[in-house]
A and B are shown apart, each in its own frame.
Chain A
Amino acid sequence: MQSTSRSFKANAHRALNDAVLQRALGNIKTGFQEKRRRVVEALPEFEALRDSGRDIKNHTLAHLDFYLERFEEKVIANGGTVHWCRTPAEARETILAICRRREARTVTKGKSMVAEEIGLNAFLEANAIEPVETDLGEYIIQIRNEPPSHIIAPAIHVTREQIAEDFRRHHTELDPARRLEEPGDFTDEARAQLRDRYFQADVGITGANFLIAETGSTVIVTNEGNGDMTQLLGKCHVVIASLEKVVPTLDDAATILRLLARSATGQEMSVYTTFSTGPRRPDDLDGPEEFHVVLLDNGRSAMLGTQFQDMLRCIRCAACMNHCPVYAAVGGHAYGWVYPGPMGAVLTPSLIGVEEAGHLPNASTFCGRCESVCPMRIPLPKMMRHYRTREFERGLAPPMAKGGLAVWAFLATRPTLYRFVTGMAARVLGALGRRTGRFKSLPLAGGWTGVRDMPAPEGRSFHALWAERRGGR
C-alpha cells in the first residue's frame, strides 16, 4: 500500500474538518472503551494475564527461529506448505502463483491486515483475479474503494447513512425501497450477496491471529463466521501471516486469546475462534484440498534485538487506538498507511522508514493511555520517543524546533543566567498582560495563540519572590 504518512498534517486537517467522519468517530467511546472497561473489571486476574501474555511473546521472540521452523515442520507433517517471504512482492507473487495453479477467477478473503500491508487486492485485480472481501467492514470499504481506517473495525469511519447509500448504489438488483437502517439490515444484505461467492471461490485467503508451533495450526477469531466460510468452502486455503504471530503451544494461544477479545471488543471471547490444521484428511467431512501459509517478514526480523523488538508482541487488538485521543480526533486514514493509532506510530516507521512516517511518532502527547490499556504491555510512548531521538540525531527535526531547543538548553544549564532571563520575562509579560490577564496573540507563539489564549504570568518569577521573602533559602 502506498503511504501518505508524510502528509499527516494535511490528512489530519481534512479529517478534523470532515463533519461526517467526526460523527462516525464519536462512537469509539461507547463502542469500545466502555465495553472493554466493564469486561476487564469483571476479570480479577486480568493484570496477571497481561504479564503472562507479555512473557509468552518475549520468550517466543527470543527463540523465533526455533518456533517458526517447528511450526513449518508441523504444517508439512499435516500436509500443508509454508512459504517464507521476505518482501511484500515475494508474498504477492507466491499467492498469485497458487491462484494461477488453481486457475482461480475469484478468491474470497477473510480480514487480514497483512494482506493490506502487501496491497494484495489491487495486485490480484491487476492480474484478473477478483478478490471478494467477506468481513462486513471490509466488504463495505471494498465497495467504497477505500483502505481500512482501523485494524479491527475497518469501516469505523463510515456512518450508517453512508453504508445504506453504498449498498443501494452497488446492489442495484434489490428493491430500492428496502429498509437499510440497523446493523442487522447491512449484515443480512451483505451475507446474501456473499453466499454464492463462497461456493464460487477457487481460493480462500485468511489472515491469522496466531500460528501454533506445537501443532502447525493457524488461528483466526471473527464475530461473523465469514472466516470459517472463506477457509472451508474454497478448495484451497491460503493463510497470510507475519512471522511474529507464532506462539509455542495451544495453551499459550489460549492465554493470549483471553486477553485479545477483552481488549479488542470488550467480549470475553470472539464469537468464532477457528483453528485450521492442514488440508482435509481422507476421513474429514470437509475442508480445503490445499493448505498454504504465506509467512511474511517485511522488516520484522530487522526489529529483533533493537529498541523496537517489544512492538513484535502486538496482537492487533486495537485497544491502543480505541483509547488514543489523537486517533479519536483524526481517525485512521490520517496516519496514511495500513496501521493507525499508537501501534501504527511505532510499527509504520519500523516497516516503511522514519523518513516516510516521521510525523507519526511525533503526533502524540505521550498521555500514556495506549500503554495503560495494551494487553501485551508494549511501551508505546517510549518507542515513539526512540523514533524522535533517531530523527533528532539524524538532523531530521525541523530547524525552528532545533534552534529553540538549543537556546533553551543553553539557558537551562546556566541557572544564574536562566534566573535573570525568566525574571525579566515574567515581569515584561506580566506587565503587558496585567489588564486582560491573557494574550490573544503573541509573537513567535502562533502555534499556541492561533487556537487558544495565552494566560499572562503573575508578574514576578517564583525564584525572585522567594529570594526576597526568604533570602533565597
Chain B
Amino acid sequence: MKNITEESKHFLSVQDMVVQYRSEGKVVMAVNGVSFDLDKGKTIGLVGETGAGKTSIAKAIMRILPDHSTYQNSGKVMLDQEDIMSIPEQEMRKLRGHKLSMIFQDPMTALNPVKSVAEQIAEAVRLHSDSNKVQAMKRAKDMLELVGISADRANEYPHQFSGGMKQRVVIAMALACDPMLLIADEPTTALDVTIQAQVLEMINALKEKLNTSMIMITHDLGVVAETCDTVAVIYAGQVIEYGAKEDIFDRPAHPYTVGLFKALPGMNKSSRRLSPIVGMPPDPTDLPSGCSFSPRCPYADDACKRDAVGMQEITPGHTCRCLKAPL
C-alpha cells in the first residue's frame, strides 16, 4: 500500500494526531491535531511544558497508548512510506523495538524489576532477529558496553543500578535492534548535569553511526540546542510553532515561544528549565475557545479568543499558530 503524496517524501510524517483520554468521567484532550515531518538521519525536538501532550504523541506513534484509559486516537503516521496507524497490530508489533523504538521518560520505572538487565535487552534482540539465546545475550552485553556499563553486570537486576545507569540500560535496550526511528522521551531529565552531557553525546554518536532519525522530547532548550535540527513547540496538545532550530531560537514568532526564551536565566547558566510565563497551562479537560494560549498571552484580544487559530507561514518552513505573529 505505497502512496506517494507530497508529505510522504519525508521519512516520518505525522498528520492530525489526536489523543483523548477518559479520566473520572471527563475527556482529557491531550493531543489536538499535531502534524510534523522528519527526514532520515535528522532530529526533531518536541518542546513544551509538563502536560503539553509530548509523551502522548510518542505513545500514539508507537501505538502503545493505554487501552484502559484511551478514549480516542486518530491521525495518520507515515513511516518510510507505510501508514503505521492502519496496519494490523501483529505487523505493528514487528516494527516496534525494531524499526522504531522508544526511550522512556522515567528510567526508575521503565525497567522490569524482576528481570535482569541483559535479559530485558536480549528479549528485544530475539524478537526481531533470528539469533538464538546465546547470540542475543552476547548482543545485550555488547550494547551494555556500548553505553558504558561493564558486561560483568549484565546479569544484575535494575535495583542494583543507579538512576543514570538505568537510563543507559533503557537507551541500550532502545538501540539494540538498530532502529530507524528513535523516540527519546526526556532521556536526560532524570540525570545530573555531567551525566546528561555524556548521555546526549552517546545518543548523538549512536545516531550518527546508524543514521537514525530521532524525536527528542524535552522541556530543556539546552538539549534542543545541542541535538535538534527542527523544533516543534507544543502547547496544550497542539504544535504552536514549527521550524528549523535556527528559526525558533533566533526568530521566535509565537508569544509562548518568546516567553520560553525570556524565561531562561541566560543561555550559559546551568539552569535552563522553562517555566516563568504568567498563569497556568490550560486544563486539558476544558480547553479555552480560540487560541489555547490566549488566557496567558499579553497580546491577546477578542479575535484570539473567538475562533481556533490555524498555522500560518512566517518564512518558508517556519510556521506559527498566532494571529499576531510575527511580533
A and B are partners in one complex rather than unrelated chains: no
Task: Give the A-binding residues of B (Cβ under 8 A).
Answer: none
Task: Give the B-binding residues of A (Cβ under 8 A).
Answer: none
